Amino acid sequence: MGPMTVILVTLYNAAMTEFTMHEPYRFCIAPMLDWTDRHERYFLRLLSRHARLYTEMVTTGALIHGETQRFLQYDPAEHPVALQLGGCDPDELAYCARLAEQAGFDEVNLNVGCPSDRVQSGRFGACLMADPGLVARGVAAMRQASSLPVTVKTRIGIDDQDSDEFLQRFIEPVADAGCTHFMLHARCAWLQGLSPKENRDIPPLNRDRVLRMKRRYPALRFIINGGITTLQECQDLLQSLDGVMLGREIYHNPWLLASVDAALFGEPRQAQSRGDVLRAFLPYVRRELENGTALQHMTRHILGLYRGVPGGKRFRRHLSEQAHKAGAGITVLEDAIAMTEQEPFREIA
C-alpha cells in the first residue's frame, strides 16, 4: 500500500466516522405507552440535542376517530421526533401517515412489538409478525401517502416462532416494501401467558440474532432495543449496529442522557448540571400551567433526575407529595430546585 493510498484510506475512514457519528438513529428513546408523552419528550430534549424521540403508540383509530390534534401535539423543540402508530389496515395507516407529515413529524414508526391482549384484539402490535405480507402492504401504503421515512419497531420472534429464519421471513417482504430501518427489541414476544410487563423481562435477550440480521442484510439499518443500561454497552453495540434504543433506563435515570451527545456524537454536552436542566424546564412548565396542564403531569417525568445523588430521595418526595395537590403551581418546582442547591446534594457525573 503506497503513501497516497494510505492517505486516501485515512480520509475515507475519517469521513465515514463523521457520517456515523451523526447517523440520525444512532441513539433513540423508545416509545413507551403512558411515559413518552410530550412533556417527557420536551424534558429529555433539554438533556440531549441528538437523541431521536418517539411518541407513545397512537392507534390509527384514535387518530381517525378521536382527538386528532391532541394526539399530534408536540413542541417544536422536540425535533427530531417520530410518531409511532399502532394499526394494521393499510388505508388507515396511509391516512395517518399523511396526518403525521402535515403535523411536521420527522418519521412514522409502525408498532409490531407490543404484546398486550388489547393490542392483539385490534390485530396490531407483535401479533403482526405472523403476517409480514400485511405489514409490507401497510409500509407500502404509508410510503406512498407520505414522504416521511417509514420505520418498523418489532420483536425478534413470537411465541415458539423464535428463530433467525422466522425473523428473516418477516424482514424481507417489509424491506422490499421500502422499510430500511428496523428497531429490533432483542426478545421474543409471548402473546399468551405473559403480561406486557413480563414480556419486557422474562423472555431472554438474544442480541446475537440482531447482529446476525445486520450481517445478513448489511444495506438495512438495524437499531437494537432491550436491556441496555450503560453508555459503554451503547458504544460496544454501535461497533456492529446502526443505532441503539433505550427506554426504561432513560426514564428512570434521565441524567444518563446528558452524556450521550459527548460520548456518542462527539459534541459538547447539552446540560452541564441537573440544576441547569431544571431551570431550563421552568419556562415550559409555566407556559403549560397557564394552558391548564396540571403540574403533576410534568413533574412525574423528572423524579429520577437525581437518582443516585445524596439528597435525591428528598427531591423525589417533595415533588411526589406537593405536585399532585389542587392548585399546585410553579413554586413547587422552584422550591425543589432550591432544595437541590443545598447540602447534601452533590453532582455525580
Catalytic residues: 114
User: Considering only CA atoms, which of 231, 212, 228 is closest in space to residue 220?
Assistant: 212
